C-alpha cells in the first residue's frame, strides 16, 4: 500500500493506492453488513467509477504521467457480527469515458 484516502485537488478520490508488481492499483473499498441493497461492489456505480478515475489520473499526474500499467480493483468487505470477510475483484472496471490515459 502506498497511500490511503487520496483526494485530488480538483475532485476525485481513491480509497487505496497500491502496487502489485509493476502495476499501480487504485482500490475502492466497500463494506456491507447485509446484502439487502445488493453486493458491496454494486455500489460502485458509473458515477463513482468516474470519481475514482479522476482521482487516479490526478495521482498519475503527480507522478509526471509515467508510462506505467494501472488498474482499478474493488475490495468487498462483508461483516456479520464480529466477523469480516474480504473479497478482491481485480480489474473491476476500466478507465471510464471520457477519460483517457
Digit-coded pLDDT (tens) for 62-91: 999 999 999 999 999 999 889 999 999 999
Half-sphere exposure of 15 (CA within 13 A, CB side): 13
For residue 100, pLDDT over 90 is answered with no
CATH number at residue 60: 3.40.1350.10
State the SS3 of 37-65: CCCHHHHCCHHHHHHHHHHHHHHHHHCCC
Domain membership of residue 49 (yes or no) is: yes
Task: Report helix, strand or coil for 88.
Answer: strand
**Number of domains the chain is built from:** 1
Domain residue limits at 61: 3-93
Q: What is the mean pLDDT of residues 16-41?
A: 94
Amino acid at each position: 500500500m502506498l497511500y490511503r484516502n487520496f483526494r485530488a485537488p480538483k475532485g476525485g478520490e481513491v480509497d487505496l493506492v497500491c502496487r502489485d508488481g509493476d502495476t499501480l492499483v487504485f482500490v475502492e473499498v466497500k463494506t456491507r453488513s447485509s446484502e439487502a441493497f445488493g453486493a458491496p461492489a454494486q455500489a460502485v456505480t458509473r458515477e463513482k467509477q468516474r470519481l475514482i478515475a479522476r482521482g487516479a489520473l490526478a495521482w498519475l499526474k503527480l507522478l509526471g504521467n509515467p508510462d506505467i500499467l494501472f488498474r482499478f480493483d474493488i475490495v468487498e468487505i462483508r461483516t456479520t457480527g464480529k466477523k469480516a470477510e474480504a473479497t478482491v475483484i481485480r480489474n473491476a472496471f476500466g478507465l471510464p469515458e471520457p477519460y483517457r490515459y
